[in-house]
Amino acid sequence: MEMIEKTVGKLLEEVAAQYPDDMAVKYNDRPYQRTWKEFDEECVRFAKGLMALGIGKGDHVAIWATNIPQWLITLFACSKIGAVLVTVNTSYKVFELEYLLRQSDTKALVMMDHFKDANYVDIVNELCPKLAHNKVGSGTTINPMLPHLRHVIYVGAQKGEEVPAGMVNWEDLPAMGEEIDHETYEAIYDSLDPDEVINMQYTSGTTGFPKGVMLTHRNIVNNGKAIGDCMNFSHDDRLCIVVPFFHCFGLVLAVMASLTHSTSMVPVEAYRPVDVMKAVAEEECTAVHGVPTMFIGMLEHPDFSKYHFTRLRTGIMAGSPCPIKVMQQVVDQMGMREITITYGQTEASPACTMTTTQDSIETRVATVGRAMPGVECKIIDPETGETLGPGVPGEFCARGYNIMKGYYKMPEATSQAIDKDGWLHTGDLATVDEKGYYKITGRIKDMIIRGGENIYPKEIEEFLYTHPSVKDVQVIGVPSQQYGEEVMACVVLRSEEKAPTEEELKAYVKSHMARHKVPKYIAFMEAFPMTASGKIQKFKLREWAIEYLNLQDAASIETA
């Protein structure tokens, strides 16, 4: 694959010149529709508005919102002037927001009013009690603990309407930007380099504090191009985007894949099965992305049969291990014959491997594909660093254009993640076959070691999915004084009627799998703890299980 050596902002300008009157963005649930030319011009107006506030090249602008139009505009406006977009998880509360704004040196925060149980206005006022007395646009510090934060920009009010005290009205930005002459804007725009950081994404922080992953224009543009190529994307496609923009899944696998192929975007503000099905059907989308639980939610919805996905052909299922049974249902019942699987992590911006539309269904449901163009992949022994051969499980490592610049202000953590030869050590367990197709078997820390036997949760999960009563399942290791760890299966059932007992499920596994893989514990649950981007948090399941099973004593035993 030939590398694209352009900034995100430049690429948007070129697509707008090539397809000025074709649809770039269309929302199904609100009156927002823009052609590529209209969208590009709108982003320039808001870029100048940010400049009028004093936002310049290299400054950090955080965005705290769902998949609303202003999110996309902020991304591309920042990309036009070299500002770094810091993405904020929509589920954050005050403690998490304070950490992110401080660690990222954010200068301006763009935010909506609220989402679910989080009132963003209240949270920001709690964090910055002096904000209400701040002179709007003054550029003064509004919290000594956040010395870089100068502006809070509020999305949700009309032009001229009142906004929460001390905040800038988003709708006023274009008028403010009129004071910036075009030559000044062009000088910054022309000075930008594809190898400069455009985006900082904070890892979910399953261990320790979240780390700010620094991604460049070159990282995300080229990864988006490679992803779209694997899906055979073109100008004729329409992608329904329901995965969060704040996550690489939304920003790169969706928005950048669309931009690099001039593919129309149909965003959905937040995941609700009916909203997604409605958007895909009414806008005749050809593609939709999602994590497995999103697809399960649609397939299991009582209104599923009311929607017809006449043009739907492709998309990506990723974010957590993809059950083979769910993949097959998506192909058979949603018409996604060319659905793909990709694997990676934020530090790789994010995709390292991917299946293509040309791969057989068997390959697409059983593997995460081959190394993407421009990316080297290998499996190593995590103890010795030795490269392992086909079929031998080890740690997945990647190297190439897609690897992050590093963690923001965390050089030690960066050197732990990326070795001296440029290989990113993912912490994921995987195998590769003779043809170069990879399978992810779990996290190194998720692997269950029971009495010296290595047990891979995904293998047991895939088998339990074959039980007709099992809707969803997660297998974890829990502490054991005798064996070090025991296997526990957390199960979501399809219905209470004719539900199997714990013993019946254990017998089901025992009749098909080795004795040491049979779960000692089974818990029936209604749902699993998840991140806002749909990733299941196994570490929270473990914490819950230790309490639920009264295993505190076993958990306190120190191991080497």
pLDDT of residue 533: 66
Pick the CATH number of 212-443 from 3.40.50.12780, 3.10.20.30, 1.20.200.10, 1.10.287.370: 3.40.50.12780
Q: Which fold has domain 8-202?
A: Rossmann fold (3.40.50)
Q: Is the pLDDT of residue 39 over 50?
A: yes
Q: If you average pLDDT over each of 38-42, 474-478, 504-508, 539-543, which comes out highest?
A: 38-42
Average pLDDT over residues 283-292: 95
pTM for this prediction: 0.85
User: In this predicted structure, which of 356-365, 410-419, 427-436 has the lowest mean pLDDT?
Assistant: 356-365
Q: Is the pLDDT of residue 204 over 70?
A: no
Q: Is the pLDDT of residue 454 over 80?
A: no
Domain definitions of the chain by residue range: 8-202, 212-443, 448-555
Q: What is the pLDDT of residues 348-404, one digit of tens each?
A: 999 999 999 999 888 988 899 999 999 999 999 988 999 999 999 999 999 999 999
Two structure tokens written together for 25:
């963005």
* 3-class DSSP assignment, residue 473: strand
Q: Identify the burial level of 129 via C-beta atoms within 10 angstroms of its C-beta, where 0-12 means exposed, 13-18 middle and 19 or more buried.
A: exposed
Q: Is the pLDDT of residue 246 over 90?
A: yes
pLDDT of residue 369: 96
Distance (Å, whole) CA 112 – CA 114:
6
pLDDT of residue 468: 93
What is the tally of helices (H) and strands (E) in the chain? Answer: 19, 28
Superfamily of domain covering 448-555: ANL, C-terminal domain (3.30.300.30)
Two structure tokens written together for 257:
């894949």
Q: Do domains 8-202 and 212-443 have the same CATH topology?
A: yes
Q: Is the pLDDT of residue 559 over 80?
A: no
The greatest distance separating any two alpha carbons of the chain, rounded to the nearest whole angstrom, comes to: 74
Cα 552 versus chain centre, distance: 33
pLDDT of residue 320: 66
In the chain, the percentage of residues whose pLDDT exceeds 70 is 97
Q: Is the pLDDT of residue 432 over 60?
A: yes
pLDDT confidence tier of residue 84, bands split at 50, 70 and 90: very high
